[in-house]
Amino acid sequence: MCGIAGHLHLNNPPSITELEMHSKCFESRGPDNYGAEIHGNLGLCHRRLSIIDLDDRSNQPMQKAGLTIVFNGEIYNFQQLKNELIELGIGFETASDTEVILSAYSYWGIDKTVEKLEGMFAFALFDVTRSKLFLVRDIYGQKPLYWYVNSEQLLFASDIRFISGQVSGLTIDDQSLEYYFQELAMPQPKTIWKQIQQIEPGYIYEVDTKNLTITKNNYHKIDFDYKKLDWNESLERVEVALERAIKKRMVADVPVSCFLSGGIDSGLIVSLLAKNSAEKVNTFSVGFKEDDFNELPFAKELAQKYDTNHLELVIEPNIADDIYSILSDLGEPFGDSSLIPSYLVTKEMSSYYKVSLSGDGGDELFGYPIYADFYQLESLFNSVPKHFRKLKINGSKLFSRLGLGDNLGRFEQFLNKQPNGDCLKRDMAFSSVEIDLLFNNRKSNYTRRYLDDCWNFSNASTISNQVIAGSLKTRLLNDYLTKVDRSSMMNSLEVRSPFLDKELSSLAFRIPNAIKFKNNQPKALLKELAAKYIDPNIHLRKKSGFGIPINHWLRKELKPLISEYLSDERLKEHGFFNEVYVARVVTEHLSGSHDHRHKIWCLLSFQIWFQNHG
């Protein structure tokens, strides 16, 4: 895992010194080596976290046959591709996955190469003879890649601060800010700055380095083409594909650990790895002093079952200092408070390991409870004769009787009008009505339009599949993967996610929802595997997110930060927010009359970001 950056200027090429200075903002992404090169009017730099082929020959930028690359990520099938290329007569000088990308491009070209890659990646590949620069990002956007272009120059980087530190006249994007205060994160490909974007996941951006002309090509699409699979065959294929995905992610020249919580996803990874490993598996669990957030007993039980090398720590953070430090180091505002436990966990893990496996993606691919709810609703709706479907129905009474859970407003919308992006809205902080109260001037309802676009982007032909595909473009990309990347990279720890394996995820999309949500259960297939490998009664455990006692901290340890950063004086520095409304939110929360924890956290995170980067 690494950090990459580049600067292409038509009239004034960057210097090695400038590249090094501006790339210090992402030094933690790659503390093991720094390299930079100038190729005419293009400067490339790379900060390396050495994982595969620790030899200096694999440092970057790497050159081969008129090609140069800076690469962030891991290619899990690189050895297989290397063997293919060797059979075709291609020679290699290193044992790295980086050289495989260069050799693959030289033989197959960019389109076929990217289609063949399995892994998480963001890279820039420069073809000197063609004067072409390719900017590429993996299919789920596990690794970030920001870019900025004007008539004279193009900048790109793993960290937005590499760009914002060099470009003057940047302005905050009102639309991104509106989305942030409702959904906790930036709506990719937008960023906090109007002039800076992210490379879209699953895309190749081709840049003509002579005139800065840019074209882009989508090389990956989600395919919901169902296969004729029954329950037993689906279960067997998921188990085999997950085992393969885990094995791929164990390729490293440094020790690999597994984060072990008390949940299904990380527990399955540890269980299946232990089943197939001749050596003891390394597992790592972190808990907080507060009992409400402690799942250590479940993790310890599984570690003992599989005799892992288990390390267990209980964290007592110096929370006010830690939170200020973490939020100050973010290149963009980020409103999901679970960033804090992720940071604290990866900080502890990085003292012992450079690589860890995690369970990210299991919920998105195999089913949140709301996915199962939508599937159940859709099945019911499809069973109603068409001439009855337009009748107004009292959804609350109907769904209460059927046990369809919460989200009744969304279900009534489903019955009484065409479903849309509102089905993807999480209402995590401020509602649409509250957004109007928060901002002094709101010019448009951007969040609604953005979610509608995400709702319609896939080839899904069912409502439940539109929810699944849309969630990958919203909560997974913008929030969860951003959280994992930023928190781990602050601590120089590479986190690999077996559930986001290309083969496994493709299989998950093609399993009929009647199987995926058998008996209206989310993650029915994973629960069945968990009963086999973890605990026969695991389905009885209540799902608990990886959280922190944020409500307690906001009313006590973090109260001075709130008083400082949400004061009228600080709010007036930019003038975005209605100070009277913000004061009301703070007063209601601190008094205990209302629970505004997510609202206050979003405001605090933005204010600390603005103080440091705005």
Judged against a pLDDT cut of 80, whether residue 415 lies above it is answered with: no
- Output the pLDDT for position 286: 84
Q: Is the pLDDT of residue 545 over 60?
A: no
Q: What is the pLDDT of residues 136-186, one digit of tens each?
A: 999 999 999 999 999 999 999 999 999 999 999 999 999 999 999 999 999
Is the pTM value of this prediction over 0.75? yes
At residue 538, the pLDDT reads: 76
Query: All domains of the chain, ordered by start, with CATH?
Result: 2-218 (3.60.20.10), 231-365+481-540 (3.40.50.620), 367-474 (no CATH), 550-613 (no CATH)
Which of 33-37, 329-333, 458-462, 565-569 comes out lowest in average pLDDT? 458-462
In this predicted structure, the answer to whether residue 345 has a pLDDT above a threshold of 80 is yes
Q: What is the pLDDT of residues 209-260, one digit of tens each?
A: 999 999 999 999 888 877 788 999 999 999 999 999 999 999 999 999 999 9
Which residues sit opposite 338 in a β-bridge? none
Residue 230, phi then psi, degrees to nearest 5: -95, 180
CA 594 to chain centre: 31
pLDDT at position 535 over 60: yes
pLDDT of residue 496: 97
Helix (H, G, I), strand (E, B) or coil at 27: helix
pLDDT at residue 385 tops 80:
no
The backbone region for 329, taken as left when phi is positive above 0, alpha when psi lies in -120 to 50, beta otherwise, is alpha
- Among 159, 148, 143, residue whose Cα is nearest residue 74: 143
Higher-confidence residue of 427 and 391: namely 427
CB 146 within 8 A of CB 198: yes
pLDDT over threshold 60, residue 550: yes
> Three-class SS of residue 12?
coil
Who's near 366: CB < 8 A, 6+ residues apart? 499, 508, 516, 522, 523, 524, 525, 526
Radius of gyration of the chain (CA): 24
Average pLDDT over residues 82-105: 97
282-288: strand order across its sheet: 309-315, 282-288, 256-259, 355-357, 494-496
Exposure b/e, 346-379, CB count within 10 A at least 16 = b: bbbbbeebbbbbbbbbbbbbbbbbbbbbbbbbbe
> Is 540's pLDDT higher than 70?
no
User: Is the model's pLDDT at 559 over the cut of 70?
Assistant: yes
Share of the chain above pLDDT 70, in %: 92
For Cα atoms 208, 212, 214, give the angle at the middle one, nearest 5 degrees.
Answer: 70
β-pairing verdict for 494-496 and 153-157: unpaired
Nearest-angstrom CA–CA distance, 608 and 565: 7
| 6 in Cβ contact with 159 (< 8 Å) | no
> How far is it, in rounded angstroms, from Cα 310 to Cα 307?
8
The whole-number pLDDT of residue 546 equals: 54
Q: Which of 126-140, 360-374, 405-419 ranks highest by mean pLDDT? A: 126-140
**In whole angstroms, how far apart are CA 32 and each of 29, 93, 250?**
9, 21, 21
Whether 76 contacts 250, CB under 8 Å = no
Cβ(141)–Cβ(477) below 8 Å: yes
H or E stretch including 7?
strand 2-9
Q: What angle do CA 233, 238, 242 make, to 5 degrees?
A: 155
pLDDT band with cut points at 50, 70 and 90 for residue 113: very high
Residues 6+ apart with CB under 8 A from 487: 326, 339, 342, 343, 345, 346
What confidence tier does 24 reach under pLDDT thresholds 50, 70, 90? very high
Residues near 374 by beta carbon (within 8 Å), at least 6 away in sequence: 414, 423, 463, 464, 467
Mean model confidence pLDDT for the chain: 90
* Chain-centre distance for alpha carbon 322: 22
* Per-residue confidence (pLDDT) for residue 412, from 0 to 100: 61
The bridge status of strand 132-137 relative to strand 494-496 is unpaired
Q: What is the pLDDT of residue 458?
A: 86
Residue 51: count of CB within 10 angstroms of its CB: 23
586 in Cβ contact with 560 (< 8 Å)? no
* 428-450 confidence digits (pLDDT tens): 899 989 999 999 987 778 999 99
Coil, helix or strand for 355?
Answer: strand
Round to whole Å and give the CA distance between 225 and 509: 8
CB-CB contact of 113 with 69 (8 Å): no
Q: Which of 291, 239, 298 is nearest to 498 (CA)?
A: 239
Q: Are 480 and 340 in contact (CB under 8 A)?
A: no
Of 133, 195, 135, 187, the closest CA to residue 160 belongs to: 195
Cβ pair 510, 225 in contact under 8 A: yes
Please tell me what DSSP assigns to residue 440: S
State residue 373's pLDDT score.
84
Residue 317 is predicted with a pLDDT of: 77
For residue 271, is pLDDT > 90?
yes
pLDDT at 542: 64
Confidence of residue 316 (pLDDT cuts 50, 70, 90): confident
DSSP letter assigned to residue 548: -
| Amino acid 403: pLDDT | 53
In percent, the amount of the chain with pLDDT more than 90 equals: 73
Query: Would you state the pLDDT for residue 409?
Result: 54
Indicate whether 397 pLDDT > 70: no
Q: Residue 403, SS3?
A: coil
Structure tokens at 396: 């609350």
